[in-house]
Structures are given as structure tokens and as C-alpha cells.
Chain A
Amino acid sequence: MSGPKSLFSTSAQARAGVLSREDAQSLVERTVKLSAADAVRVSVSSSRETNLRFADNQMSTSGVTTNTTIRIQSVFGKRKASVVTNDRSDDGLRRAVTQSEALARLAPEDPEYLGEIGPQQYATIDAWYDATADLTADDRAKAALSALAPARAGKELTVAGFIICNAGATAIGNSAGLFAYHRATSANYTLTARTNDGTGSGWAGMENNDWTKLDVQAVADRAIDKARRSRNPVAIEPGRYTVIFEPEATANLVSLMGNAFQARSADEGRSAFSKTGGTKLGEKIVDDRVTLYSDPGDPLIVSAPFDGEGMPVTQQTWVKNGVLQQLAYNRFWANKQGKTPTGNASSLRMADGADTLEAMIASTARGVLVTRLWYLRPLDARTLMYTGLTRDGTFLIENGKIARSIKNFRFNDSPLFMLNNLEGVGRALRTAGGDGGPAVAMPPVKVRDFNFTSLSDAV
């Protein structure tokens, strides 16, 4: 049973040991009462995480972890320090409060501390599904069989996969009367199929807050199909290619722009959005088909409506039609620059375009289709240059058709250059490569002149 969802605690939540709003609030209030500091902030994180791994066509490790941690930040004047504990007993809380106060009294002043914020209004975000919280070990093992059974039967494939589900709640409260609570479930399944001759590898994944919306069979079929089609890759020369990125690959690169949206580093002259005398705010930075935004209520990628300080997080559009529209300001920097604080977003989405993946392939005379990217590392913060490699399904497109499997490439390029060289944008999908991390939705995109610098023999 996955819906309609209730905003009230369910028995599934109690079974999972995840704190209800009432229990979280009482824990926060108990802790605030123990405080002798000028101000105190209490953050609670309560979760039950279940997972299952399989590899080499058999079961590997699997388990469940239940934990609740309490972070207490005590403040005297502008001196502050935090203690994190998972001891919820009265003694445990008292000890942690005392410890954070002892640390705070001795810590040097933090001139950027602005005091705790009072009660806030938050959007109501519905992200809890009993079906995910109630998933059993039997259900997970059965889901794994969707890939294990065909791989064992066929004798030509080896599969490795991972199922991770989380049921959790976060809450924040402080001595100024603020209280925020959000609960969510998430389910994530990723699978790699490899051909036993060692020449083919295919990856697929899916993520949803609701387990019943995860089509495990579709994930298995897709990864297996990719593995078969990627067999016997040929080497083609590195160089500049028209590249079609599947949503996962788009996310691998474009998500890296997230950090660069911080206003402070732009103002300080050390980010991609700095320029002589200021920032690129209001300037066109990428193709006008690009709009990037964060919205906690986006049903495709729901996320918490508040950040770690308890600041409300609402919809923020970072890039609109190619123009840098907004940077992220924390309270201190907003105050200093005369701006409104934005809160710290935890999701990212690129707006849909009009093209389909099929049409993008069909319109390509010669190009490369990329399934996903791997091991991305920064080369230069000022240009957002990154290096990384393609992986698990890289194909040559010739005359509008996928012609053959090709060897993987290393690239040296920037999401900014990539989004300036845009030729097509499709419909955004929720990506799964983050193994249950921040929610990201990206479309497939077609890009010209992407810079592949060397070949990799890795399969």
C-alpha cells in the first residue's frame, strides 16, 4: 500500500523505529531545556536503512541499521561548538549538552554567527511511503532475483547490484522557538551486468521515494541489454565529438555546477561565476535552453523544505534560459551583501526540453552515446574544468543510428562549456547514481565538441 500518504505518523514508521514528529519534538525540547547556554540548536536525525548487495551472480552482504543521532550546538555570545551523540537517555543528553557547552566556552568567537532564527513557515512536503518503510528482507531478495535469475540461466552474464532503502526523519529546533520536522522514505536500485567474456558492461538504475514505483525488472532488462550491446568495443580516436549524454551522464557533470552557485566564493573571486570587479549574476552563461532549479516540492525529486539551520528552502532558479539568475546566500553572506538568504538547497533539476533521446540519435551523423561517467575530479575551479571517464555502455552513433560499441574515453571538459555547446535537450528523469544521496533530475542532452582526451581499456 503506497498511498494516499498520511502526514501523520504511521504504524510503519513506528515499526521502522523512525521518530515521529511528536517524539522528535519532545526530544528537541528535552534537550533545549537542559541547556545553560545563551542559545542552543538541536538537530535530530533518525533512520532505518536497509540494503542488499549481490555480485558475481550471488548474494553478498545485506543488512539493516537503525540509529538516531542528536547534534547539539551550544552558543555563548559568538562562541559556539557542537556535539553529536546517539545516546538518547537523560544522562546521555545531559552529558552531550555539558560537553558542547564546555567546548563552546573555550572556542574562539565566530564573527559570522548571527544567532538562532525564530519559528518559520515551511512548505508541507509529502515524501513518506509505508511500502518503502515496510519492505522486508524477503522482498529485497526477491527483487535481486530479477537480475540474478536471468544471469544464472543464460551463462553469458555476471551481475552485481545494490538495493538501498531508507526510512528517516530529520528535525531541528532551537532556543528561539523554531521547530522543523520532515520525514521521507527512499528506494534506490542500481545494477551492473557484465558479459562473461569480459568485453561488455551495462549499467541501469532507478530511484523513487515509493518502492512500488521502482520497476526492478525494467532495471534488470536495461542493464542486461546494455551489457550485450556493449560487447567487443572498438577503439576510435580521442578528440572532439558530438556527444549524447543519457540522463545519468548529464547529472554526473551538471550536478557539479551546484557548488559553484555559492555566492560567497563568486564574490571572493574564486569561482566560475566570478569576474573582474564582481560576479556573472544576470549574465548569459550557457545556452538559452538551459534552466536549472531546486524545488523541495518537485514531485519527481522531493526534498526537505528546510536546511541545516532551519531556514526554509523554497523553489530557487539558479539559471533561467541560460542566464545566471540567482546565487546561494547563507545568512551571514546575505546580511553582509544586503541580499536575502536563500537556504541551502538539496536537490537539483534541469528543465525539460522538447527533444527525445531517439530524435537526438537520429539527427546525429557521427557522435558518441554515453551511459554514465565515472571518477570526476576538478581541474580548475574558475572554469569548472573536470576530468573523468565514460563507463558501462559507450556507443558510436553513425548516420543517425547506434552503430557499435566503442572503448571508453577520458574527458577533460567543463559543464559550462558543455551547456554552451548544446544541440538538444530531452525530458528530465530522476537519476539513481547517487545511491540514495541528494535527489537529482536531468534530461538527456546532445552536445557538440565535447573533449575526449584519451582512450581507456577499462570495461
Chain B
Amino acid sequence: MTTRRDFLVTGGGALGAAFGAAALGPQLLHALPHRRPLPALYTDAATRELMMEALDAAKRAGASWADVRISRNRNNSVQTRERQVTDVVDTDTMGCGVRVLVDGCWGFCATQELTKPGVGGAAQEAVAIAKANRVARDRRVELAPSPAHPDATWRSSYTIDPFTIPVEEKADLLLRANAEALGVANVRFVNSGLSFVKEERNYANTDGSVITQDYVRSWVTMSCTAVAPDRSGTAVRGPEVVQPAGRGWEYVLEADIVTNAKVWAQEAAEKLTAKAVEPGRYDLILHPSQLFLNIHESLAHPTELDRAMGYEANYAGTSFIAPPEKVLGSLKLGPPMMNLVGNRNEVGALATIGYDDDGVQPDEFHIVKNGVFNDYQTTREQAPWLASWYARNGQPVRSHGCSYAQSWADVQFQRMPNVSLQPGDNDLSWSDLIAATDKGIAMIGRASYSIDQQRYNAQFGAQLCYEVRNGKIVGQVKDAAYQMRTPEFWNALDMLGGKSSYALGGTFNDGKGQPGQANAVSHGCPPARFKNINIINTGRTV
């Protein structure tokens, strides 16, 4: 397996001098010195051989079905504060995770020993665990059928591999942005960082699939903290000022953080003197950078089928959208203009992938159709649970391709695909929504967020809150949060932005499961307006 590690690219400066990143727009990317053609993707012979050994060993030990993942997970992080770099870390781990079914019970074992005895031993241990678990089995796990993909490859939509960019260039970009922010009056602290992930994912199962995927994601964070001259208060803009994406270094350049840093810093400074929000009922206008997190919490989580069936009861909780037979096709979640789609194919979205960790090619599906609940997120284990609903609709029983594990060391389970709110028919913009509002609060950016374990009661803050009067923004307000009950909230949706205002928001770190695993996921949405929402003031003084 040494050959696999030889691909390790040093972050050295052999690729030329730093350049003025902020000045470059996407149209100039073809001229960048770092842009090299990406190598063709294939499953290398040594990896394939190890995967076959793991599957064979599992079958020999008694598994009725098995899959194996051998992956290399790389992270690169550069973190700064004010005028200095605080941390540069590269993480590079490889290993093998084997999952088996024996008499309808799961077993899993992960090892870093990438040798035939290593992966074979892991397969045997996974089988031993599954056998031990039979004593406590109730129903058998049955997998929905899925076509084999014997020689498949897929690559995410990056054009410049961030792992080829020298560290000093990354640090320089951040420090220049920090300097811009620190030039704004009262802005005393700035933290910024770049995080990149690259996963070389190899998958095989006993159905005959052999899949190799190359996945990159990137995130720029920056938080600007303003401190009142008399230290009586602080105000923060950030750190999620740029949405993370399933793209490469080109995405970082497009974010133009050096130019934008000044704006973010000014917004923080302005917040110091913002008046406290007057609690009450307002029409609430949410920017995509705020709304995506609401969609994530209030709609995407409760439509995970494992949650609805109680599989997360001991941690993340269950769901108000349950039981399936009482809500599918009948629960009205919002007005007819509300359409929510699950997918793993939106370009640049974080959960976008060619094949999931069950070996399934994901499809696109309506979770909410014309305001009515239509389908759950599923894996191969879960899709058969909805067989009668699919039969009624003349649909085949198939997984939507939502199986995911954060690394080779973790067992896969149902994770969120991209869950996106479709834009409205009229091409309305953010400004159109503001202009149509007499008494409103407009919110931008994610801040504090909290929701109960069945996803009814939620409270969301924002990085920037503006008061809207008679169709105009009249100024920032502070300490504002909206308090909602999910079914009423989405039924209060009365205006949707159009196609041109649609944007992706996302996170690297959606937590679920025991042991906890992180999933990177995006949500597309237009800005939207909700009528007569309860706005509270969360401020208190000591």
C-alpha cells in the first residue's frame, strides 16, 4: 500500500510565487499557475486486491453480505488571529472499514493495517460481532436491491486541488484579509481560517460494485469582533461569512475575502451601536445564508427515516413527521409553493457524490411536494420500510442513496443529502421581498440555533438583523431571535425568491449518531418571507 501513499503531495512552494488572489475572478482561473489537469481516476490494483480480500474473508467467516471501504482522508487547515498564524495542520490517515450482515445482524470493524491479514482479520472480527449480536436480534436487516457498479469512478467539481496550494499563499490571503478588517474602527479581534478536505474513497461490496471517488471540499471562515471603546459590549460578525462548498481553491478565490473583510468588519462595528430589538410579531425575511440552517434543522432532520423510526431516539431524537403511514402523502407542511428536494447531485453542494456508502447511485426525490410531505431520506436498509407507500405510488423500492460514514474508521448510516427548497415561479429578489414588507425583520447569516429533539420548537438568531419599515431597511437591531413551531412556521411562508436569488448554504459538521459522526451537507434556497413571526429579545445584562 505504500504506493497509495506516494500520491501525497507536499504543500511545498515549488509551484511558483504567491499571486494577488483577491484580484482574480473566476473568469481568469484558466490562467492560474496552480491549475493542472486532474489525473484520471481509477481503482488502483493494490486497493482493489485488499478490498476483495476483505469481502472474501467476510464470506468465508459466514457473512451473507458485506461491503468494504478503503479510504484516504486528508485535511488541511490554516488558522490565524489578527496578524499572526496560529496553526497549520495537515491530517492524512488511511484505513479500512468492513461491514457485514450475518443472519440479519450488522457487524463492523475498522483497521489501519492495510495488508491482506489486516483487512482479513477486520472482516473476521466484524463477522464475530454480528454473530454475537444475534442473541439480541428482533427483526432481520434486509437490504433493498441496488444494481452493481463494477468499475465506477466519480470526482467532485473542483478545478484546483487546494492541497497543491502552498501554505504561505493560504496564510498570506488570510492575513491580508485580517489586516483589512483590523483597519475598521473598534474592530479589535479577527480570527480567520481555511479548511480543506480531500477524500479518496474506495468502495466494494459483495453485489459486485467497485467504486472509486475523489471528493474535495473547502471552507473559509472569518469572524470580526468589535469591542466598545469603554469595553461595555462586543459584537461579532462571522465566523460563517462564506458558505463552505464541495469545490476547490477556485472557490476560495471567488469568495474575495480581502475585499469583503472590510464590509464584514464594518457590519460588526455597526452592531455595537444597534438598538435592541423591540419584541413582537413581525414579517420575517430570511436570507439564504440564514434560511438554509432553518431548512436543515426543521425539515431535513425530521425527514430522516431513521429518526422517524426511533433509531436516533437516544441522541439526536425522533421526529414530528411520523409515523410514516400517517404522514406520507397527507401531512401539510406548507403552502403549495413549498417544494423541498433531496439530492446528491447539485454542483458545488457538500453532500453531492456519485455513489453513496451502500454503493447506491443517489436519485433526486421530492421530500415535500406542493406543500405536502412526500418522502423520507433513505438507505438500502431503510427503503423496504416504506414498501407499501412506494407500491401505492407505483414506485420501485429503492434507496435514495443517503448512506454515509465520515471516514473508514466509522460505520455508515443514514445521513442527510442536500435538501433544497426550490425557488418560486416569479423571479423575486431579496430587495423585492424587503420592498413588499411594511413591518419586518430581515436576517442574514447563521448565528445561535437550537431546536428540540422532535423538531417542533426552534429558536434562531442571525449574524445581522435589520428592521424593515414600509419597504425599506431602516437599520441594524441587536439581540433579535425568532421563536417558531415548525408546522406553523412553514405554513406562514408567503413569499419566495426566484431562481436568480437561489443560493447554497452549508456546513462541514452536521452531527448525528452514536458515536457521533460529522456530515458535510448543503441546502439550496431562495430568500423567503414568513408572515407574523414571534421575534424575541435575548439580551440580558449582568
- Are A388 and B133 in contact, CB atoms less than 8 angstroms apart? no
Within 8 A of B (CB), among A421-459: 435-436, 453-459
Q: Verify B110–A64 contact, CB threshold 8 A.
A: yes
A381 to B137, CA, bound (A): 47
In chain A between 384 and 442, which residues have their CB closer than 8 angstroms to a CB of chain B?
385, 387-389, 391, 408, 410, 412, 414, 416-417, 435-436
Residue of A whose beta carbon sits closest to that of B457: A456
A382 with B233: in contact, given A65-B110, A458-B454 (CB under 8 Å)? Answer: yes
Task: Indicate whether A455 sits within 8 Å of B457 (C-beta atoms), given known contacts A61-B411, A91-B2, A102-B11.
Answer: yes
Residues B107 and A62 in contact, CB atoms below 8 Å apart: yes
> Count of chain B residues with Cβ under 8 Å from any Cβ of A?
95
- B87 CB within 8 Å of chain A: yes
Nearest-Cβ distance from residue A433 to partner chain B, whole angstroms = 10
* Minimum distance in angstroms from A261 CB to a CB of chain B: 17
Q: Which of A157-165, A251-259, A314-322 contacts B (4 or more CB under 8 A)?
A: A157-165
Q: Please, which residues of chain B bring their CB within 8 A of the CB of A377?
A: 448-450
Question: Which one of A104, A109, A459 has the highest number of Cβ atoms from chain B below 10 Å of its Cβ?
Answer: A459
A458 touches B317 (CB 8 A): yes
Given contacts A269-B234, A383-B542, contact A136 B132 (CB under 8 A): yes
- Measured between beta carbons, the chain B residues less than 8 angstroms from A242 are none
| Bound complex: CA A138 to CA B131 (Å) | 9
A104 to B90 Cα, complex, angstroms: 11
Cβ–Cβ contact A137 & B128, under 8 A: yes
B538 and A387: CB pair below 8 A? yes
| CB closest chain-B residue, reference A72 | B90
Question: Within the complex, what minimum Cβ distance (angstroms) separates B385 from chain A?
Answer: 10
Question: Which residues on the A side are within 8 Å of B454 (C-beta)?
Answer: 457-459
Q: Which candidate, B149-157, B306-314, B328-336, B433-441, is the interface stretch facing chain A? A: B306-314
Q: Which residue of A lies closest to B113 (CB)?
A: A66
Tell yes or no: B227 within 8 A of A by CB.
yes
Query: How many angstroms from the CA of A81 to the CA of B514 in the assembled complex?
Result: 32
Residues of B within 8 A of A417 (CB): 540
B110–A142 touching, CB < 8 Å:
no
Cβ–Cβ < 8 Å partners of A300 in chain B: none
Q: Looking at the assembled complex, report how far the CB atom of B109 sits from the nearest CB atom of chain A, in whole angstroms.
A: 5
Q: Is the CB of A410 within 8 A of B107?
A: no
The answer on a CB contact under 8 Å between B457 and A458 is yes
Whether A87 and B11, one on each chain, are in contact in the complex, defined by CB atoms closer than 8 angstroms, is: no
Q: Are A55 and B90 CB-contacts (below 8 A) given A152-B138, A456-B456?
A: no
User: Which chain A positions have C-beta within 8 A of B85?
Assistant: 107-110
Residues of A within 8 A of B515 (CB): 49, 51, 164, 435-436
Contact among B107, B111, B313, B540 with A385 in the assembled complex (CB-CB below 8 Å): B540
A458-B189 in contact (CB<8A): no
Asked if A366 is at the interface of the complex by the 8 Å CB criterion, the answer is: no
- B540 contacts A383, CB within 8 Å? yes
Residue pair B538, A380 in contact (C-beta under 8 Å): yes
By a CB distance below 8 angstroms, the chain A residues around B10 are 98-99, 102
Residues of A within 8 A of B135 (CB): 138, 141-142, 145
Report the tally of A-B residue pairs with Cβ distances under 8 A: 290
Q: Are A68 and B112 in contact (CB under 8 A)?
A: yes
Q: Please, which residues of chain A bring their CB within 8 A of the CB of B432?
A: none
Q: Residues of B contacting A56 with CB < 8 Å?
A: 309-311
- What does the 1/0 interface line of A57-70 toward B look like (CB < 8 Å)? 11111111111110
Contacts of A375 in B (CB 8 A): 450-453
Contact A57 to B138, CB < 8 A, known contacts A67-B95, A110-B86, A387-B448: yes
Are B313 and A63 neighbours in the complex by a CB distance under 8 Å?
no
Determine the distance from Cα of A201 to Cα of B315 in the docked complex, in whole angstroms: 12
* Chain A contacts with B in 349-392, Cβ cutoff 8 A: 374-383, 385, 387-389, 391
Verify B514–A162 contact, CB threshold 8 A.
yes
Write out the residue numbers on chain B whose beta carbons fall within 8 Å of the beta carbon of A59: 105-106, 133, 136-138
Interface string of B188-199 (1 = CB under 8 A from A): 110000000000
Tell me if A270 counts as interface (CB < 8 A to partner B): yes
Residues of A within 8 A of B189 (CB): 268, 270
Instruction: For the complex, give the distance between the alpha carbons of A455 and B458 in Å.
Output: 10
The interface-forming segment of A29-37, A115-123, A190-198, A339-347 is A190-198
Residues 169-186 of A at the B interface (beta carbon under 8 Å): none
Distance A362 CA – B179 CA, assembled complex (angstroms): 60
Q: What are 26 pairs between A and B in contact, CB < 8 Å? A: A51-B515, A59-B105, A59-B138, A62-B107, A65-B410, A81-B90, A84-B89, A84-B92, A86-B112, A99-B8, A103-B88, A103-B90, A137-B131, A141-B136, A145-B136, A152-B138, A158-B310, A160-B310, A192-B314, A270-B227, A274-B231, A277-B231, A380-B539, A387-B538, A435-B514, A457-B320
4 more A-B residue pairs beyond the given contacts A86-B94, A108-B175, with a C-beta to C-beta distance below 8 A = A61-B106, A91-B2, A162-B514, A380-B540
- Give the interface of B toward A (CB within 8 A): 2, 5, 8, 10-13, 84-95, 97, 99, 105-112, 125-126, 128-129, 131-133, 135-139, 166-168, 171-172, 175, 188-189, 225, 227, 230-234, 309-315, 317-318, 320, 409-411, 413, 448-457, 459, 461, 479, 481, 483, 485, 514-516, 536, 538-542
